[in-house]
Structure 1
Amino acid sequence: MGLAVYKKEFSTNIRLAYPVILGMLGHTLIGVIDNIMVGRLGATQLAAVSLANSFVFIAMSAGIGFSTAITPIVAQGDAAKDAQTVRSAFHHGLLLCTILGICLFGVVSLATPLMHLMRQPDEVIALAKPFIGWVGFSLLPMVIFQGYKQFADGLSMTKYAMYAVIFSNVIHVGINYVLIYGIWFFPKMGMMGAAIGTVTSRVAMLIFMHYALSRNAQLKQYFSNFSFGEIKKSMLKKIVSLGLPSSMQMLFEVALFTAAVWLSGFLGKTNQAANQIALSLASMTFMFAMGLSVAAMVRVGNQKGLKDYINLRIVARSIFLLAIIIEIVFALLFITLHNYLPHWFVNAEDVVQLKDNTEVIKIAANLLIVAAVFQISDGIQVVVLGALRGLQDVKVPTVITFVAYWVIGFPISFYLGLYTPLKATGIWIGLLAGLTAAALFLYLRFNYLTKQYITGDGQPETLNVNPKPINHGTT
């Protein structure tokens, strides 16, 4: 099959994915803004933000991963013109996200003492402890927001989350600026100003999302007459059965990157700060693939609802190809600019911390070379994972991601980082190995499943399907 059949799907993929990409970039930008603004205070403060956020990001990944269970159910129900399934998935998913958000905040709060067991620098721990309390609380509005977002994404209405995140970032930057540096009559709070900015912006994001969706006339049927009497064990069980493995998939990957933060901490604060710089930049480019992953989940879910498995495969592969092209472009940019990008995050002219900052820039530049290569693998694995979620296949991919990241990736990172002269660069080579293994085996899984569906050997879920193409806007 020629490339033309895949390329003709690019415009539809981009139209659906770009609001998600901008929204995900906005989420990442909150962390990047914190890193840039706090990085101006010194390498110790940047390392402390990195350490604190590593705990929060693990919990956040579990929440975001769980919430993705809502999207394929909504997308499949929408394709089948089954409004009751869509409504049920939304209400049950929102309830579960609220409960999960509360639990994740509690877990992060209780896990704070682990910092002392991880051989992190004492001065970094002292700064990270109060920061993590505030940012940990922001998990509650963040995970509830995800419930709304995944519902809207399943209906191909991907712009709402984009607007909400843009709104929250405007608030975040403003609060950060005045509270970190003590502008006007505001107190100079340093790192804690960034923490308060994160909490406030995420609460605002949730309020915006609820208001925007509930005011949409097309969605009013899903917001009216909610009752706990509508909560059914069967839908709770279905969302949990999809959400828990999806949560574990994202958790395994984010935990691997978090382990890289901790391993870098063993090597000292300059390695930890450099790791955070490279991770921040790689995370921003990864959001493009994440947006395409959501597009894969929605479009594959739609085609599954329509039982058009041949077109399902074409749509999914077109998204895979688009992701590869985009990530190659970013890889070339990283290689070209690897000596310049780290300067965004530290003040190289600070005479007091000149030695530390110079070392941070040098280490980060080397890490970006590895990041240039691994983000191609990272992009492939996440879009294939999105397609598998659209098929509601989550259990086998969970095993694949665990093996790839923790049986293959982490041991390599651990050995090369702590027992060879490669140090931080060795840690990132392990990340590359894990992501490459995940990309390969997840694609083999997708290829196997879609062959079964096309030949009739699979067991597709029975729905009352109206076999007409879907033409939602991305409002």
Structure 2
Amino acid sequence: MNLTQYTKEFKYNIRLAYPVILGMLGHTLIGIVDNIMVGKLGATELAAVSLGNSMIFIALSLGIGFSTAITPIVGEADAEKNTQKIRAAFHNGLLLCIILGFMLFGLIVLGKPLMELLHQPKEVIALAKPYLDWVGFSLVPLIIYQGYKQFADGLSMTKYSMYAIVMANVVHVIINYCLIYGVWFFPKMGILGAALGTVISRIAMLVFMHVILSRQAQLKTYFHNFSLDEIRKETLSKIVNLGVPSALQMLFEVVLFTAGIWLCGNIGKTSQAANQIALSLASMTFMFAMGLNVVSMIRVSNHKGLQDYKKLVVVARSIFLLTIIVEILFAILFVIFHQIVPPLFLDMDNPMQLVDNQEVVVIAANLLLIAAIFQISDGIQVVVIGALRGLQDVKVPMYITFFAYWIVGFPISYYLGIYTDLKAVGVWIGLLAGLTAAALFLYLRFHYLTQIMIKN
């Protein structure tokens, strides 16, 4: 194997990836800002936001997963220089994102009674319900924004979504501050202020994205004469056939991690707190792999459009290799700092909580050692999924991920977490097993498909 043919692709991969990574971190920051600002109101308010956002996160995974169907169609058409195909994918995809945004909002509103079934405290549910109405509505502009983002990503124009996220974060912080605490002439609205801040910032993000893209000279042809006359059943069907399996694949993973949170909660509060610390750190490093997932989707779809399958394999493997290098660097950092970082999340000077906090630190430190290995598997599986989406192969990967996460991963998490002394560490060993199985089988699927394409 000649490593140079892969490493020479790194520069272009990084150039495409870094705006996506910053954008992903920006999305994460919106949630962190809510938690920090609401946390100052009290534990009940923070619990209400956490409960509401757990439901939003599941709906969001479906919306984002579905919208990724637009990128490979646009990427392939861009390589073919087929303007009409790009326009059709954009207009039809945007219509589907509008419909899906309202459907997910409806599901959130209808799903509110589930909070009682989760046996949450009544005072938490009372605060969470109105919060959920507003943040649920914010899914509408966010999923429509995803239609614009995936269109731009397909054209390798990844910077504009980064600009939109930066702007949204600035708007979000200012509005949150004014409406949560009642600064100046604004009413003091508590967690409803945080919800409104999310809605307004996401509407601003959508408007910004539309304006900035529609003003690009090379994109004028795609924004001229928006009309329902361009909606075609065959294009809608193609996007739905790619989008639904992609949405389900993302849902399988998100629900697995949600189940991990639930299992740790069943074990005890120290396990749940340790899980939250390790998961928040692993989620931050995962954003780098998610950025490379988008690059994988863009570049593979481009070379599919050019029908240059040998180059396609080289490009894909260069992204896989870059991901492995990045995740190994993070793994080393996790190992070095696994005992130093967890205390930073806790008030170690509080004598009332000292025993609990010391237990949390020990559990979290052990989880970070597993996270060091698990993020390598997680990184590989997510970039290979991106490559398979670029090939427009989504149904078999959907079955693979279901098998890996729910037939391999979850039973191991459940057994080791509940029935052995490993507890939270056992839950994470199950997550590691599921992600490793997914990485292996998805790569074998990619290798199998590309070998057939090269031979034919």
By the TM > 0.5 criterion, same fold?
A: yes
Superposed displacement of residue 188, structure 1: 5.2
Tell me which amino acid in the other structure corresponds to 1:93. G
* Cα distance in 1, alignment partners of residues 171 and 62 from structure 2: 25
Tell me which amino acid in the other structure corresponds to 2:93. G
* Cα distance in 1, alignment partners of residues 104 and 262 from structure 2: 20
Q: Cα distance 1:424–1:178, how it changes in 2: closer, same or farther (>3 A)? A: farther
Query: Which residue is 1:368 aligned to?
Result: 368
- Determine if contact 1:38/1:190 at 8 Å carries over to the other structure: yes
* Cα distance in 2, alignment partners of residues 34 and 373 from structure 1: 30
- Determine if contact 1:31/1:280 at 8 Å carries over to the other structure: no
Secondary structure, aligned partner of 1:2: coil
Query: Which residue is 1:380 aligned to?
Result: 380
Tell me which amino acid in the other structure corresponds to 1:226. F
Secondary structure, aligned partner of 2:402: helix
Matched, 1:291 2:283: no
User: For residues 279-358 of structure 1, what are the structure 2 equivalents within 5 Å?
Assistant: 279-349=279-349
Query: Which residue is 1:201 aligned to?
Result: 201
Deviations 1:212-264 (A, max 9, x none): 10111111110111111111100000000101111111111111111222223
* Cα distance in 1, alignment partners of residues 182 and 342 from structure 2: 25
Q: Cα distance 1:269–1:197, how it changes in 2: closer, same or farther (>3 A)? A: farther
* Cα distance in 2, alignment partners of residues 351 and 125 from structure 1: 31
Secondary structure, aligned partner of 1:226: coil
Query: Which residue is 1:467 aligned to?
Result: none
Deviations 1:414-469 (A, max 9, x none): 2222333333332222211111110010000000000000011xxxxxxxxxxxxx
Over the matched positions of the two proteins, sequence identity in percent amounts to 70
Query: Which residue is 1:258 aligned to?
Result: 258
**Structure 2, unpaired ranges of 5+:** none
Q: Cα distance 1:195–1:248, how it changes in 2: closer, same or farther (>3 A)? A: same
* Cα distance in 2, alignment partners of residues 115 and 220 from structure 1: 46
Tell me which amino acid in the other structure corresponds to 1:341. V
- Which is further off, 120-129 or 280-289? 120-129
Query: Which residue is 1:73 aligned to?
Result: 73
Secondary structure, aligned partner of 2:113: helix
Matched, 1:161 2:161: yes
- Which is further off, 259-268 or 146-155? 259-268
> What TM-score comes out, normalization by structure 1 length?
0.90
- Which is further off, 193-202 or 445-454? 193-202
Deviations 1:289-308 (A, max 9, x none): 11101101000000000000
Q: Cα distance 1:199–1:351, how it changes in 2: closer, same or farther (>3 A)? A: farther
Superposed displacement of residue 183, structure 1: 5.0
Query: Which residue is 1:13 aligned to?
Result: 13
Superposed displacement of residue 44, structure 1: 5.7
> What TM-score comes out, normalization by structure 2 length?
0.93
Superposed displacement of residue 174, structure 1: 2.6
Query: Which residue is 1:214 aligned to?
Result: 214
Superposed displacement of residue 344, structure 1: 4.9
* Cα distance in 1, alignment partners of residues 453 and 387 from structure 2: 14
- Determine if contact 1:47/1:276 at 8 Å carries over to the other structure: no
User: For residues 45-444 of structure 1, what are the structure 2 equivalents within 5 Å?
Assistant: 45-120=45-120, 124-181=124-181, 183=183, 189-349=189-349, 360-444=360-444
Tell me which amino acid in the other structure corresponds to 2:78. D
Superposed displacement of residue 8, structure 1: 0.4
Secondary structure, aligned partner of 2:422: coil
* Cα distance in 1, alignment partners of residues 170 and 354 from structure 2: 32
Q: Cα distance 1:378–1:143, how it changes in 2: closer, same or farther (>3 A)? A: same
Tell me which amino acid in the other structure corresponds to 2:227. S
Secondary structure, aligned partner of 2:339: coil
Tell me which amino acid in the other structure corresponds to 1:101. G
- Determine if contact 1:79/1:306 at 8 Å carries over to the other structure: yes
CA RMSD of aligned residues (A): 2.3
* Cα distance in 2, alignment partners of residues 168 and 260 from structure 1: 31
Query: Which residue is 1:461 aligned to?
Result: none
Superposed displacement of residue 366, structure 1: 3.4
Superposed displacement of residue 272, structure 1: 3.4
- Which is further off, 9-18 or 268-277? 268-277
Q: Cα distance 1:271–1:114, how it changes in 2: closer, same or farther (>3 A)? A: farther
* Cα distance in 2, alignment partners of residues 124 and 192 from structure 1: 13
* Cα distance in 1, alignment partners of residues 269 and 180 from structure 2: 21
- Which is further off, 347-356 or 284-293? 347-356
Secondary structure, aligned partner of 1:422: coil
Tell me which amino acid in the other structure corresponds to 1:427. V
Tell me which amino acid in the other structure corresponds to 1:402. F
State the structure with bigger RCO (CA 8 A, min sep 6), 1 or 2.
1
Tell me which amino acid in the other structure corresponds to 2:282. A
**Structure 1, unpaired ranges of 5+:** 457-475
Secondary structure, aligned partner of 2:22: helix
Secondary structure, aligned partner of 1:112: coil
- Determine if contact 1:410/1:430 at 8 Å carries over to the other structure: yes
Superposed displacement of residue 268, structure 1: 4.5
Superposed displacement of residue 353, structure 1: 6.0
* Cα distance in 2, alignment partners of residues 130 and 423 from structure 1: 35
Secondary structure, aligned partner of 1:175: helix
- Determine if contact 1:79/1:305 at 8 Å carries over to the other structure: yes
- Which is further off, 287-296 or 327-336? 327-336
Q: Cα distance 1:261–1:387, how it changes in 2: closer, same or farther (>3 A)? A: same
- Determine if contact 1:39/1:346 at 8 Å carries over to the other structure: no
* Cα distance in 2, alignment partners of residues 378 and 206 from structure 1: 30
* Cα distance in 2, alignment partners of residues 366 and 189 from structure 1: 40
Deviations 1:186-208 (A, max 9, x none): 55555444333322221211111
Query: Which residue is 1:473 aligned to?
Result: none
